[in-house]
A and B are shown apart, each in its own frame.
Chain A
Amino acid sequence: MDEGRVSRHRAGAKLWLAGGWLLLALLAAILAPLVAPQDPLAQDLMLERLPPFWIDGAEPGYWLGTDSLGRDLLSRLIFGGRIAFIVAFAAASTACLVGSALGLVAGYFGGWADRVISRIVDVWMAFPPVLFAILLVAVLGTGLSSVVLAIAIIDWTRFCRVIRAEAMGQSRMDYVENARIAGYGRVGIMLREVLPNVVPSIVALLSLEMGIAIIVEAILSFVNLSISTDDPTWGGIIAEGRLSIHQAWWVLVFPLVTLILTVLSFSQFGEALKTRFDPVLW
């Protein structure tokens, strides 16, 4: 099909662009102590609010300028990436594990399991998610594990809803019926026949969720409820930037661009992977 080829072509380009940015950001975060030009925590009142390199008054070595305490913005962004990626991977995979398992059970087994799980999802959907996350972190106390847990708790429903619907569709297919006639057990069929067919959706959602987790972490940092006030986080830098927006716009612009690129990349990467994995489109 002609249209299929075009969308696959686009998916390929997306995969490389999005994957490239994510790889770059991830490598920078992992190698932060090696690649960051300055100490992200070093304050120097002589260097406060230095502009980025192309503007008059910039200092060499402070490529993206400094914030109101004279801390190097690029170094803070690179170190902030560490927390962002840790939160993204940990929170998204926890949410994915819980949500997909429940969704698979609800969708495949139906009946009471489905009714109970669906009711719980209904209750969860009636919470404003951001407020719920803020509340959870306030309750659990600030810190990395609280943030990861809070994000997993609010967002497992995303996986549950999608996987439930897909598993439900799959369980009506003839091949599931055939497996049952062949005498396989219900759990065996679920894991062997249904699960592989919902994997593309799980992968796409997982990637999307990583972007969302980074945003939620940024929001939590923004309201001063995330990891700690000392370690640089993207949300924390944004909160500072919002305050000094009229004096030093770059403190807001650079973390914002970083966040947007990362979130866009995660969602596009997921979509592209799904297109890639989808046996029907190939």
Chain B
Amino acid sequence: MSLRAPAKIYMLLQRFLIRLLTMVVTLFGVAVVVFVVIRVAPGDPIAMMLPPGATDADIARLRTLYGLDKTVVQQFFIWLAGVVRGDFGTSISLRQDVLGLVFNRLPATLELAVVALAMAIVLGGTTAVLGARERGTMVETGIDIVSGAALSIPDFLWGLVLILLFGVLVPIFDISGRVSPQLDLPFVTQFYLFESILRLRLDLTFDLLKHMLMPAVALALPLAAIISQLLKQSLKEVLDLDYVVLARVKGFSETQVILREALRNAALPTLTLVGVQFTFLIGGTVIVERLFSYEGLGNMAIDAVINRDLPLIQGIVLVFALLFVLINLTVDMMYALLNPRLRHG
């Protein structure tokens, strides 16, 4: 029987708070792990910063400046206290505020990830519906084979394949950078794609998409394959249920039956998985951005590692982790909201 409205809200709120708590614990764990891992590093970041003729006194001064003369535990809590205040420290290699650097690059990565996610959902959803409608035919077998291959080949390799196909063989898309360098950019935020649409500068939107398409497809293909397989499977299960048979008797066509009766119920189990997979997709941006010289957070992260820029690495990893747990939280809440059983008691 259904609960009364306050009880429902209470239940959702309780679920939300528990999730929030585990989220904080997870983030704390990430901070500890990354801090420990980095402090084990044998190379001395300070020595790398200074010219070869620097004196020991110079090195000692800088060590004090960056707080590296304290114990690891002290350093951790000093850093953590800063993080809680929103101060992630100063990048050693770029000599700028870490948070500022991260916020400067994060929008590029977010835009890429969201475009890739949208592509994966559209591609995966369409093929799943098509495969379910044509179940048992050659069409379904074809979809199975293609999605099986798309799933097994990771984004890094898809990126290389796309570079070969559309960068060299048929050079129709840009395979390097985020936007053509000769263009004048009127943007005030770093969300170039979003802002170009708002400003109705569709020439810029087009140029941005031309750059974004290849890395986005590379990221989207494995996820599209997973969505396609899972959704098709649960669609096929739902299509044998009585209410779907009833809809067929009512006179609805198979496509209508799938879209109106089956899709929503079949999508629910897929949704949870898409959340986890979306975090994998974002994880994949690190190398795909590198591959396409796309100026996002992941590309900066690799530079930070190569330059042993400890504060910057910590900041970037923590932002990625925050992004991941937020996505999981969102998916969990969406699941609770969309599931009629949970929604109504």
Q: A53 at interface (Cβ–Cβ under 8 A)?
A: no
**B274–chain A nearest beta-carbon distance, Å:** 15
Pairwise interchain contact A127-B302, C-beta atoms closer than 8 A? no
**B166–chain A nearest beta-carbon distance, Å:** 12
Selected interface stretch from A80-88, A93-101, A132-140, A173-181: A132-140
Pairwise interchain contact B157-A263, C-beta atoms closer than 8 A? yes
* A129 nearest in chain B by CB position: B283
Give 6 new A-B contacts, CB below 8 A, not counting A123-B30, A125-B279, A245-B163: A119-B26, A127-B34, A135-B34, A219-B156, A245-B164, A253-B164
Query: A126 contacts which chain B residues (CB < 8 A)?
Result: 26-27, 29-30, 320-321, 324-325
Contact indicator per residue, chain B 295-336, by CB within 8 Å of chain A (1) or not (0): 000100110011010000100110011001100000000000
Contact partner, A123, options B26, B152, B316, Cβ 8 Å: B26
Report the Cα distance A58→B222, complex, angstroms.
Answer: 37
**A11–chain B nearest beta-carbon distance, Å:** 12
Pairwise interchain contact B157-A139, C-beta atoms closer than 8 A? no
- Beyond A122-B26, A123-B33, A219-B287, whether A245 also contacts B168 by CB under 8 A is yes
Q: A170 at interface (Cβ–Cβ under 8 A)?
A: no
Interface size class of B (residues with CB under 8 A): 35 or more
Pairwise interchain contact B30-A131, C-beta atoms closer than 8 A? no
Q: B154 at interface (Cβ–Cβ under 8 A)?
A: yes
Query: B163 contacts which chain A residues (CB < 8 A)?
Result: 242, 245, 252
Q: A165 at interface (Cβ–Cβ under 8 A)?
A: no
Pairwise interchain contact A128-B41, C-beta atoms closer than 8 A? no
Pairwise interchain contact A218-B29, C-beta atoms closer than 8 A? no
Contact indicator per residue, chain A 248-271, by CB within 8 Å of chain B (1) or not (0): 010011001001100110011000
Pairwise interchain contact B283-A128, C-beta atoms closer than 8 A? yes
Contact partner, B317, options A122, A127, A246, Cβ 8 Å: A127
Q: B160 at interface (Cβ–Cβ under 8 A)?
A: yes
Contact partner, B29, options A119, A131, A139, A222, Cβ 8 Å: A119
Contact partner, B149, options A128, A129, A264, Cβ 8 Å: A264
Contact indicator per residue, chain A 114-157, by CB within 8 Å of chain B (1) or not (0): 00000110110111111110111011010000000000000000
Query: A122 contacts which chain B residues (CB < 8 A)?
Result: 22, 26, 29
* B29 nearest in chain A by CB position: A123
Contact partner, B37, options A125, A128, A139, A263, Cβ 8 Å: A139
Q: B25 at interface (Cβ–Cβ under 8 A)?
A: yes
Q: A17 at interface (Cβ–Cβ under 8 A)?
A: no
Report the Cα distance A196→B30, complex, angstroms.
Answer: 34
Interface of B is mostly: helix
**B320–chain A nearest beta-carbon distance, Å:** 5
Q: Which of B134-151 contact A (CB under 8 A)?
A: 148-149, 151
Query: B153 contacts which chain A residues (CB < 8 A)?
Result: 260, 263-264
Report the Cα distance A212→B155, complex, angstroms.
Answer: 11
**A132–chain B nearest beta-carbon distance, Å:** 8
Q: B286 at interface (Cβ–Cβ under 8 A)?
A: yes
Pairwise interchain contact B152-A136, C-beta atoms closer than 8 A? no
Q: B249 at interface (Cβ–Cβ under 8 A)?
A: no
Q: B38 at interface (Cβ–Cβ under 8 A)?
A: yes
Interface of A is mostly: helix
Interface size class of A (residues with CB under 8 A): 35 or more
**B259–chain A nearest beta-carbon distance, Å:** 26
Report the Cα distance A134→B308, complex, angstroms.
Answer: 11
22 examples of A-B residue contacts, CB within 8 angstroms: A119-B26, A126-B325, A127-B30, A128-B286, A128-B324, A129-B280, A130-B283, A131-B283, A135-B37, A138-B308, A215-B154, A223-B302, A238-B160, A242-B160, A242-B163, A245-B167, A245-B168, A246-B168, A256-B157, A260-B153, A264-B152, A267-B151
* B285 nearest in chain A by CB position: A128
Query: B290 contacts which chain A residues (CB < 8 A)?
Result: 222-223
- Beyond A215-B156, A253-B164, A256-B157, whether A130 also contacts B41 by CB under 8 A is no
Q: B6 at interface (Cβ–Cβ under 8 A)?
A: no
Query: A103 contacts which chain B residues (CB < 8 A)?
Result: none
**A138–chain B nearest beta-carbon distance, Å:** 5
**B141–chain A nearest beta-carbon distance, Å:** 10
* B290 nearest in chain A by CB position: A223
Contact partner, A215, options B157, B276, B298, B320, Cβ 8 Å: B157
Contact partner, A259, options B29, B157, B284, Cβ 8 Å: B157
Pairwise interchain contact A131-B164, C-beta atoms closer than 8 A? no
Report the Cα distance A127→B316, complex, angstroms.
Answer: 10
**B285–chain A nearest beta-carbon distance, Å:** 8
Report the Cα distance A139→B34, complex, angstroms.
Answer: 11
**A201–chain B nearest beta-carbon distance, Å:** 17
Pairwise interchain contact A131-B302, C-beta atoms closer than 8 A? yes
Q: B282 at interface (Cβ–Cβ under 8 A)?
A: yes
Pairwise interchain contact B286-A130, C-beta atoms closer than 8 A? yes
Pairwise interchain contact B37-A136, C-beta atoms closer than 8 A? yes
Pairwise interchain contact A131-B320, C-beta atoms closer than 8 A? yes
Q: A40 at interface (Cβ–Cβ under 8 A)?
A: no
